[in-house]
Amino acid sequence: MQITPTLGLLLALSFVISLIALSILIWAIANRQVRTPDQDDARTIFAPGEGAEIDEHDKPHHFDPVRAGIDASSARPVLWLVGAAVFWLIYGSLHGLAASLELHLPDMMTGAAQMTFGRMRTVHLNSVAYGWASQAGLASVFWIIPRIFHTRLRHAGMVKTGIVLWNIGVAAGVAAIASGWTDGLEWLEIPWQIDIILAAGAACFVLPLIQTARARKVHHIYVSGWYFLAGILWFPVLFVIANIPGLHWGIEQATVNWWFAHNVLGLWLTPLGVGTAYYMIPKIIGKPVYSYAVSLVGFWALALFYSQVGIHHLIGGPVPTWLVTLSIVHSVMMFVPVIAVAINQHVTVARNLWAFKESVPLRFISLGALCYTLASFQGSIEALRSVNSITHFTHYTVGHAHLGAYAFVSLVMMGAIYQIVPRATGKQFPFPRMIMWHFWLNVIGFAVYFLSLTIGGVLQGLAMLDATKPFADSVTLLKPYLEGRSLGGGLMTLGHVLLAINLIALAFAKRETTETDNMVAAE
C-alpha cells in the first residue's frame, strides 16, 4: 500500500496538468481577443490575407475547388474509399444483424464455429470500425484536406496503394477472426501479423496528407484540418503501440487495451467525424462556424481529456483506484470540448434551419453532430461510479457505443458520401427519393435500436445489482429488448442497402456532360 499514495499523487498531477493546460489555452485566447501582438496574425487567420491572389476582397472565403483542379486530384482515391467503405458497411451490418438475432434466437445458427455469436459480433465490429467508419472517414479527409488547403492532393498513387493494402488487411483480419484466429483483445482482435498490413496501409495515408499540408496555399489551417491532421498522426501511433505483441499481459494489458479502444474512438473516429461535420455544415449552409476561439477550446480540450478516459471501462475492476478515478474525472471534463463543438456546430445549424430542410446530406451530418453531443454527454455521465455500477456489463453500453459510432460517426459519413460522390463523379444520385428513405430508415431504426438497448440495459443492470433476483431474471427480462434491437438493426441495414443500390446505380449511370466531367476525365 506504500506505493498507492505516490501513484495517486502522480495521477492527480496529470489532472492538474490537464487543467493548467486548458487554463493557459483559454487565457491565451481571451487575451488575444483583447489586444496582443498576435492581433495581426489573428487577422490573417480570419480575414482576407489567405489566398488573396485567388479570392476577391469582398468575397474573402470564396474559392472554387473545382476550377482549381483540386477535386480532380482527390476524386479517384475518395471514390475508391467510399466504395470499399460501403462494401464493409453492408458486410458489417449483416454480421451485426446476425449477431443480434443470435442473442434472442440462440439455436438459429449453430452449425459451424464461424457463425457463433462470439465471432459474428467480432467480425461485425472489425468490419464496421476498420472497414466502414475508418475508410469513410478517410474519404472525407482526402476530399476535404486539399479543399481547405487550396491545393491538389499530393501522392495520390500512394493513397491508392494504401487503400489496397488497408482493404487486404481488413479482409484478412475479418477472415482470420471468423476462422478463430484472433488476438483476443476487444478492438484489437485482428492478429498482429495482419495488423502489419494495416499499419503499412495507414502509413501510405499519412505521408500524402503531410505533404499536402506542407504544400498548402493558405496560411491558416481550418479547424477540420486540425482534427484530421492530428487524427491521422494519433491513429498509427496508437495502432502500432497497442498491437506490438508480447509487451503486456494480465491487468497491465487490460489498461493498454482500453487505452487503445477508447482512443481509437476518441482520437481517431471522433476527429474524423467532428472534422467532417466542421467542414460540411458551414459548407452546405454557406455560413461560417460560430467562433474560432471556441473551436480552439474544443480541439485542445478534446486532445487533453479524451486521451485519458479509457480506464472508465474498468471501473470496479482489478485496476488501481487512482487510475480509475483519473479516467472518470477526465471523462466528465469531456463536457468542455463537447460543449465547445456543440456551440460551433449547432448554433450554425440552428441559425440556418432552412438548410436543414433543403439539404438531405446536411440532415445526416447535423443529426450526426447532434448525436456526438448526446453520445459524449451520455459517456461522461456513464463514467460516474454510481451510474456505471448499473450500466457497466449491460447492453446499455452497447447502445451508447452505437450512439457514438453509428448515430454520430456513421450518419456524418453517410451525409458526407451523399455530398461528396456527386461532386467527385459529376453525376447525380439516380434515386434521390431513396436517399430520403435511407435517412428515415436509419433514424427510425436507430431510435428503436437505441431505446431498446438503453431501457433494457438499465433494467438488466438493476436486476444484476439486486441480489434477491436470480441471474436468470436479468436475461429473461432482456429478451423483448433484444428483439427490439434486431428490429432496429434490420431497418438500419435496409437503409444501408439503399445507399449501396444508389451508389451502384450511380456508378453505372451515364455522366452528364459538365465542366466537372472534363476535369475528372483530365485526371
Partner 1 sequence: MTDKNKQDPRLPDETFEPYEANRRIPLPVYWIAIALAIWGVVMLVQTSHSTLLADKERAALDKQDVAANAPVGAEPAASGKTVFNANCATCHGEFGTGSVGAVPPLANSDIVKAGGAKLIAQIAMRGIDGPITVNGTTYDGHMPNFASALDDKEIAAAASYVARTFTGAKDGVSAEAVAEIRKASAGQDPWAGGAELAAATPGLPAQPSAPQAAADMVQNADVATLVSQGAGSVWSCASCHGDQGEGTQTVPRLAGLPAAYIAKQLHDFQQGTRENDSMAYVAKALTDAQITALADHYAVMRAPSGARPSLDGDLARGEQIAREGDWSIGVPACFTCHGPSGFGVAPDFPALAAQQPAYVAHQLAMWAGGSRHNSPLGLMAGIGKALNDADRRAVADYLASLPPVPATPKVELTAMRSDAQPAKETTNDQ
Partner 2 sequence: MNRYLPLAITTLAILAIATLFLVIAPGMQIRGQGAAPGLQPYTEAEARGREVYISMGCVYCHSQQPRATAQAPDAERGWGRASVAGDYAYDAPHLLGTMRSGPDLMDIGDRLPSQGWQLTHLYQPRAISSWSIMPAYPFLFEHKDKAAQGDVVVKLPPAYAPETGVIVANQEALDLVAYLRGMRHDYAPPADGLRDDGYALMAAQAKSKTEAAKSAQ
- Contacts (CB under 8 A) with partner 1, residues 133-152: 147-148
SS (H, E, C) 149-189: HCCCCCCHHHHHHHHHHHHHHHHHHHHHHHCCCCCCCCCCC
**3 binds partner 1 per the rule CB under 8 A:** no
Nearest residue to 302 (alpha-carbon basis) of 331, 343, 327? 331
* Contact range with partner 1 by CB under 8 A, out of 73-81, 97-105, 294-302, 408-416: 294-302
Nearer to partner 2, 267 or 499 (CB): 267
Nearest residue to 496 (alpha-carbon basis) of 94, 123, 9? 94
Please tell me the count of residues contacting partner 2 according to CB under 8 A.
Answer: 101
SS3 247: coil
Among 90, 203, 475, 506, binds partner 2 (CB under 8 A): 475
Return phi, psi of residue 180, to 5°.
100, 5
Nearer to partner 1, 92 or 298 (CB): 298
Round to whole Å and give the CA distance between 86 and 101.
Answer: 22
CB 338 within 8 A of CB 376: yes
The residue type at 234? W
Per-residue x/- track, 406-445, partner 1 (CB under 8 A): ----------------xx----x---x-------------
**257 binds partner 2 per the rule CB under 8 A:** yes
* Contact range with partner 1 by CB under 8 A, out of 27-35, 108-116, 179-187, 308-316: 27-35
> How many residues can be counted in the chain?
523
**Least distance in angstroms from the C-beta of 43 to partner 1:** 9
**304 binds partner 1 per the rule CB under 8 A:** no
**Least distance in angstroms from the C-beta of 330 to partner 1:** 8
Nearer to partner 2, 46 or 440 (CB): 46
Sign of CA dihedral 506, 508, 509, 515: positive
Per-residue x/- track, 183-222, partner 1 (CB under 8 A): ---------------------------------------x
**368 binds partner 1 per the rule CB under 8 A:** no
Round to whole Å and give the CA distance between 379 and 335.
Answer: 10
**Least distance in angstroms from the C-beta of 121 to partner 2:** 6
**Least distance in angstroms from the C-beta of 237 to partner 1:** 27
**Least distance in angstroms from the C-beta of 449 to partner 2:** 17
**352 binds partner 1 per the rule CB under 8 A:** yes
Pick out residues in 162-191 that bind partner 2 (CB under 8 A): 180-186
Round to whole Å and give the CA distance between 24 and 35.
Answer: 16
Q: What angle in degrees, to the nearest 10, is found between the helix axes of 479-508 and 395-402?
A: 20
Nearest residue to 371 (alpha-carbon basis) of 345, 333, 397? 345
Pick out residues in 356-415 that bind partner 2 (CB under 8 A): 385-386, 389, 392-395, 397-398
**150 binds partner 2 per the rule CB under 8 A:** no
**275 binds partner 1 per the rule CB under 8 A:** no
What would the grid cell of residue 69 be?
483542379
Kindly give, in sequence order, each residue whose CB lies less than 8 Å from that of residue 9, ignoring residues fewer than 6 positions away. none
**252 binds partner 2 per the rule CB under 8 A:** yes
Round to whole Å and give the CA distance between 22 and 305.
Answer: 10
**Least distance in angstroms from the C-beta of 219 to partner 1:** 12
* Contact range with partner 1 by CB under 8 A, out of 101-109, 165-173, 251-259, 275-283: 275-283
Kindly give, in sequence order, each residue whose CB lies less than 8 Å from that of residue 258, ignoring residues fewer than 6 positions away. 310, 311, 313, 314
Pick out residues in 56-115 that bind partner 2 (CB under 8 A): 102-104, 106-107, 110-113
Residue 510: in which H helix or E strand, if any?
A: none
**Least distance in angstroms from the C-beta of 385 to partner 2:** 6
**486 binds partner 2 per the rule CB under 8 A:** no
**Least distance in angstroms from the C-beta of 116 to partner 2:** 5
Round to whole Å and give the CA distance between 32 and 39.
Answer: 7
**314 binds partner 1 per the rule CB under 8 A:** no
